[in-house]
Structure 1
Amino acid sequence: METRMKRLREKMTEYSLDYLLVTDKVNRRYLTGFTGSNGLLLIGKNSNHLIVDGRYTEQAQQQTSNTTILTTSSSKNQWVYASEFINGGNVGFEVETIPYQVFKDLKSLTKEMDIRLVETNHLIEKLRLIKSEQELFCLRKAAQLADQAFSYITTIIKPGMSELDVANEIDYYSKRIGSEGPAFETIVASGKRTALPHAHASKKIIQKNELIMIDFGCIFGGYYSDITRTFALGEVNEVIKKAYDQVLFAQKQAIEAITIGGKLKDIDKAARDCLKKELLDRYFSHGLGHGIGLSCHEYPGVDRTSEERIIEGMTFTVEPGVYLAGDFGIRIEDDVYINSEGKAECLTQTKKEWMVIG
């Protein structure tokens, strides 16, 4: 945590910030280790103050170091504490995630104190881009758990189960083998419902000879995995299999196009260009991927507008998909890590060649 704070203070100096107010839950955890859902972290040039209510005092004391823990009361709220430690100057705040009411309260301080509010954009998130060895260990473990859970579900899925049955089995088994919980609401779609990119698992009964799409993730040490596989439960139309092969080729080409110094939008284009040759690009309705780490969907986005450059230590998903409304959809997703050789290493290892079960 000390290294992270040191890097952040260097950035604060670069942006002429005297203080930084951290309101994002994940950023608070990244900087201090505190996992509580509520709290205000005030970072100065030489001190850190974490202001919490009485529910979190003991937890914060146990989880943090080199951070002063302050507990609010009916007579002393977080802004009274903040006003005692802010001694004028530039106060940065997280423009992307600050709750509106918190922003209003913060702005009211400017009327009482000689401070200037400064918007920060992804200041901490950009520090989170580069994963440490410990972070990578947790990401690998989360990916391994997802691989193991997917392998398990392919041994029990069968016609007659509902999509919700399958999702519940994945969630329960994942926890049994060590996941801290589902990374997000587990997606299970079958038949024509695979054309819905983020279909909620429903009570629909899975039929023989249907396409199945499963998208889920696991959590280990607070770090996330995210994997999608699409496969057949029995025999399906050859058109589907052909489209699958084209999506798989697009994913592989995108991964091969990853180079240190390149822009994320270039790998989105690589996948899109592959699908365009097969007239499928118009059915690719989302970005190629997203950052992954302490959040399942974190900065940066991997899409056609992303100017962020690829650097060693980054982790993000690569997940091209095509969705033909009322017919079928296909998505293939892996988590990748940019290693010291500048190569994209897939953390999720489940096979992705066309698969038929039963």
Structure 2
Amino acid sequence: MNNQHQERLALLLQYLEKEQIDLAIVISPKSVFYYTGFYSDPHERFMALVLDLRNQHHYLFVPALDLEAAEATSSIKKIIPILDEQNPYQILLNKIGEGVQTIGLETKNFSLYQQEQFNLFIPGFLYQDIGEFIAAQRMKKTPDECRMVQEAVYVIEKVLTEGINRVQVGMKEVELTAELEYLMRMYGAEGPSFSTIVLSGEKSSLPHGHPDQKKINRGDFLLIDMGVILNGYCSDITRTFVVGEGTAEQKKMYDIVRESVQAGINAVKAGHTAGSVDIAARNVIKDNGYGQYFNNRVGHGLGMEVHEEPSIHEKNKLVLEPGLLFTIEPGIYIPGYGGVRIEENVYIEETGNAKVLTSFSTEFTLLGL
């Protein structure tokens, strides 16, 4: 992976030189991982990849407690540990010195507090957003990265296969959530890629609802949305089931969403726009009279983070190209009744065609019979 990190960093450095940026500070932990191979969540502590274009020096600033891990995994070998009692901005200034005029920053990840500290220790600098370039670079996945996501998909599908066999009438949503997250660890995942969503009955109409003490009852929709992190890459899958016997209305809703997902997949081709994928999936739901019950985007990018670029919404004119990896997850959500969502992970191969990474069945499935 070191060569891959060096290639990624070389492209960023070319961009910074072109933009005449003196100093770049990358503070998003996932972006630091992308360029160095070292990952840590520093919480409130300061961590950054610092690229000094004036002298071509590259530094990785880490909390002192992460020094050993950084030395073992980082492709950047000039590692600056920061003790908890030290001021990280003073340490940064001591290392880079005076005379910085333009700093490249990921402005979406830069807090007002951090800006105040930079103004105090490096007064008078101008900043330029480099976050869009980094997001665009990370958005295009290599075949190796696709394989990493695929491995994470394999794990979450094993979890789902075993997990649905543990569903029982009367089980609480939080109990099933605990079972699923236990299985994630048992199958080798680093952990969930986001807070696992288990929603039953009328609560399944909440696209991002939270599992609670509600019991899973016969006749309920059961919506499960989850993913894992494996080797730094994420998976994200949603399937919706019915517990016991389903009604004609439940099956009708389900079949429409299933058709919508397939329409979205069919629309994925290099040269088409991201918006066209959303529109293709959305029109199936609209044409069947449920348009008012689907009011969010149809998908999002997936990689080192569970939500990345591109955003698959109907107004996104981004032209799709090989290397893009994203979800397609339309749904129908009827307040007070319930909802259905089916989510697939899709990668655009060099041929320009879509490869569906998720393989768990989308057949209408009854549980607990």
TM-score range, shorter chain: over 0.9
SS of the residue corresponding to residue 192 of structure 2 reads coil
Partner Cα distance (1:69, 1:298) in 2: 28
Alignment of structure 1 residues 1-358 onto 2, 5 Å: 1-38=5-42, 39-45=47-53, 46-73=56-83, 74=85, 77-82=88-93, 84-85=95-96, 87-111=99-123, 115-357=125-367, 358=369
Q: 1:207 to 1:66 in 2, by over 3 A?
A: closer
How many Å apart are 1:75 and its aligned residue?
5.8
SS of the residue corresponding to residue 111 of structure 1 reads coil
Superposition RMSD on alpha carbons, in Å? 1.7
How many Å apart are 1:20 and its aligned residue?
1.1
Q: Give the conservation status (yes or no) of the 8 Å contact 1:49–1:70.
A: yes
Q: Give the conservation status (yes or no) of the 8 Å contact 2:153–2:357.
A: yes
How many Å apart are 1:305 and its aligned residue?
3.2
Q: What amino acid is aligned across from residue 50 of structure 2 in structure 1?
A: L
How many Å apart are 1:190 and its aligned residue?
1.0
Q: How many residues align?
A: 356
Superposed CA offset, 1:315-345 (max 9, x none) = 1110001110001101000111111111111
Partner Cα distance (1:189, 1:75) in 2: 46
How many Å apart are 1:180 and its aligned residue?
1.0
SS of the residue corresponding to residue 173 of structure 1 reads helix
Partner Cα distance (1:185, 1:248) in 2: 24
TM normalised by structure 1 equals 0.94
How many Å apart are 1:51 and its aligned residue?
1.5
How many Å apart are 1:307 and its aligned residue?
3.0
Partner Cα distance (2:338, 2:87) in 1: 57
Partner Cα distance (2:74, 2:344) in 1: 33
Q: 1:95 to 1:155 in 2, by over 3 A?
A: same
Q: Give the conservation status (yes or no) of the 8 Å contact 2:223–2:341.
A: yes
Q: 1:176 to 1:96 in 2, by over 3 A?
A: same
Q: 1:23 to 1:140 in 2, by over 3 A?
A: same
SS of the residue corresponding to residue 37 of structure 1 reads coil
Q: 1:263 to 1:54 in 2, by over 3 A?
A: same
Partner Cα distance (1:191, 1:111) in 2: 56
Q: Give the conservation status (yes or no) of the 8 Å contact 2:192–2:226.
A: yes
Shift >6 Å, 4+ stretches: none
Q: 1:75 to 1:337 in 2, by over 3 A?
A: closer
Partner Cα distance (2:214, 2:86) in 1: 54
SS of the residue corresponding to residue 16 of structure 1 reads coil
How many Å apart are 1:135 and its aligned residue?
1.8
Partner Cα distance (2:136, 2:362) in 1: 31
Structure 1 unaligned spans of 5+: none
TM normalised by structure 2 equals 0.92
Q: 1:106 to 1:287 in 2, by over 3 A?
A: same
